[in-house]
């Protein structure tokens, strides 16, 4: 590990030197590439430099202790030694985590798809609540949310909704939301006061940008335009602005009607289709790498029941990591960070254990 860290430190210093060269600063593409690499390496380099300083402090303190007879001074040196040892252990663990292979999609925006499952209208109502939960979470992180398509029912529920979250690192945290979410509560339509269980599915897909090659052949696509339905804004329901794409090879059908402009809806529909095709490719890779799929917490099996929201007890349980918290109201209002942080920590611990076992 330390040989690798030394090489990364050398590389970091090379980048800093290159960034000051006029030929690099005048080349926008090269400059951006180096700035990205510098940004990625900075946390690791800073941790390694601090680690080396701690190790030097340990060595100095041990050397001074050997020749020191003053008891008060010896106590100070022992305290410094203890603090340096503790900090060096923390930094070693931190560096191991920073050295874990990065998911190339982590910094991307995401497209999220929520679909009502078992439970009829109650599932659709819960889908709408989970959608609002994610919107509040995204807004709390100052991310931008853009709705791509929504199929609403009259009582305020959603059969399905697709939306994009634009924000740096959105995929790195939102990917842990993929899977089946279950709700246990007494529906408003239930006269007998019985607790019902309903489900929804959440799929989180990285946005397909220029660095991902997803080619869609024109002959594989059927494009239909139609009048938008549902609660549209002014002009939305009066023009043929809605766009439906059918992808023949996969059978995927996507629909966009949230914009007044047919061109804008078409662009949104193609963005959603590309994300779905890329997501299928990722899932196929995971299926082919059974051990990787088994060890991953994020981007795992979409049919897996990942979380239960129990309203009578005010409880949220994440089944993948065995976490239960009793603040359902806050979670439904977008306070997801404790759950996501726990998922990230469990994912890192799993990957670290696997790396150390090799």
Element holding 110 (H helix, E strand) = strand 110-116
Q: Which of the four pLDDT bands, split at 50, 70 and 90, describes residue 233? A: very low
Better-scored residue on pLDDT, 162 or 101: 162
Q: What is the dihedral of CA 209, 215, 219, 222, to 10 degrees?
A: -30
Considering the domain delimited by 110-349, tell me its CATH architecture.
2-Layer Sandwich (3.30)
Q: What is the pLDDT of residues 238-267, one digit of tens each?
A: 567 888 899 988 888 988 887 788 888 888
Q: Which of the four pLDDT bands, split at 50, 70 and 90, describes residue 298? A: low
Q: What is the pLDDT of residues 308-349, one digit of tens each?
A: 999 999 999 999 999 999 999 999 999 999 999 999 999 988
Q: Where are the domains of the chain?
A: 2-98, 110-349
Question: In angstroms, rounded to a whole number, what is the distance separating the alpha carbons of residues 309 and 184?
Answer: 6
pLDDT at 232 over 50: no
- Residues 15 and 41 sit within 8 Å (Cβ to Cβ): yes
- Residues 117 and 199 sit within 8 Å (Cβ to Cβ): yes
Report the relative pairing of strands 196-206 and 110-116 from DSSP bridges: antiparallel
Question: Would the CA dihedral through 346, 347, 350, 351 be positive or negative?
Answer: negative
The count of C-alpha atoms lying within 13 angstroms of the C-alpha of 206, restricted to the half-sphere facing its C-beta, is 25
Mean of the per-residue pLDDT values of the chain: 86
Residue 137: what pLDDT? Answer: 96
Residue 46: what pLDDT? Answer: 93
Q: What is the pTM of this model?
A: 0.75
Q: Within its chain, how far is the Cα of 291 from the centroid?
A: 21
Question: In angstroms, rounded to a whole number, what is the distance separating the alpha carbons of residues 336 and 333?
Answer: 9
Q: Which of the four pLDDT bands, split at 50, 70 and 90, describes residue 189? A: low
- Residues 290 and 345 sit within 8 Å (Cβ to Cβ): no
Question: In angstroms, rounded to a whole number, what is the distance separating the alpha carbons of residues 311 and 342?
Answer: 21
Residue 225: what pLDDT? Answer: 87
**Nearest 5°: CA angle at 266, between 263 and 270?**
140
Q: Which of the four pLDDT bands, split at 50, 70 and 90, describes residue 120? A: confident
Residue 299: what pLDDT? Answer: 53
pLDDT at 290 over 60: no
Element holding 221 (H helix, E strand) = strand 221-226
**Residue 226 Cα distances to 24, 151, 193, 237, angstroms:** 50, 15, 43, 10
When mean pLDDT is compared over 74-83, 182-191, 284-293, 328-337, the highest value belongs to 328-337
Question: In angstroms, rounded to a whole number, what is the distance separating the alpha carbons of residues 267 and 245?
Answer: 11
Report the relative pairing of strands 305-310 and 315-318 from DSSP bridges: antiparallel
């Amino acid at each position: 590990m330390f040989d690798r860290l030394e090489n990364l430190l050398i590389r970091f210093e090379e980048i800093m030197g290159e960034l000051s060269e006029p030929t690099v600063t005048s080349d926008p593409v090269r400059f951006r590439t180096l700035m990205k690499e510098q940004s990625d390496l900075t946390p690791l380099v800073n941790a390694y430099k601090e680690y080396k300083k701690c190790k030097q402090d340990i060595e100095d303190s041990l050397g001074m202790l050997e020749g020191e007879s003053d008891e008060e001074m010896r106590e100070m040196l022992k305290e410094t030694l203890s603090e340096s040892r503790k900090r060096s252990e923390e930094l070693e663990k931190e560096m191991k985590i920073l050295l874990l292979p990065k998911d190339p999609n982590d910094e991307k925006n995401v497209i999220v798809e929520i679909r009502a499952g078992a439970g009829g209208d109650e599932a659709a109502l819960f889908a709408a609540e989970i959608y609002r939960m994610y919107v509040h979470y995204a807004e709390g992180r100052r991310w931008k949310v853009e709705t791509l398509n929504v199929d609403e029912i009259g009582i305020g529920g959603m059969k399905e909704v697709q939306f994009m979250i634009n924000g740096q690192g959105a995929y790195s945290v939102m990917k842990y939301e993929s899977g089946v979410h279950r709700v246990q509560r007494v529906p408003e339509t239930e006269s007998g006061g019985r607790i019902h269980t309903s489900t929804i599915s959440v799929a989180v897909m990285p946005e397909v940008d220029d660095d991902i090659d997803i080619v869609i052949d024109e002959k594989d696509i059927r494009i239909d335009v139609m009048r938008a339905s549902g609660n549209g804004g002014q002009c939305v329901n009066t023009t043929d602005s809605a766009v439906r794409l059918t992808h023949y090879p996969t059978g995927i059908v996507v629909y966009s009607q949230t914009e007044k402009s047919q061109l804008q809806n078409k662009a949104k529909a193609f963005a959603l289709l590309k994300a779905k095709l890329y997501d299928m490719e990722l899932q196929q890779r995971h299926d082919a790498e059974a051990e990787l799929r088994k060890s991953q917490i994020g981007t795992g099996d979409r049919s897996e029941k990942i979380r239960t929201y129990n309203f009578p007890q005010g409880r949220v349980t994440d089944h993948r990591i065995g976490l239960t918290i009793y603040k359902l109201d806050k979670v439904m209002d977008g306070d997801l960070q404790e759950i996501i942080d726990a998922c990230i920590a469990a994912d890192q611990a799993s990957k670290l254990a696997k790396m150390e076992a090799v």
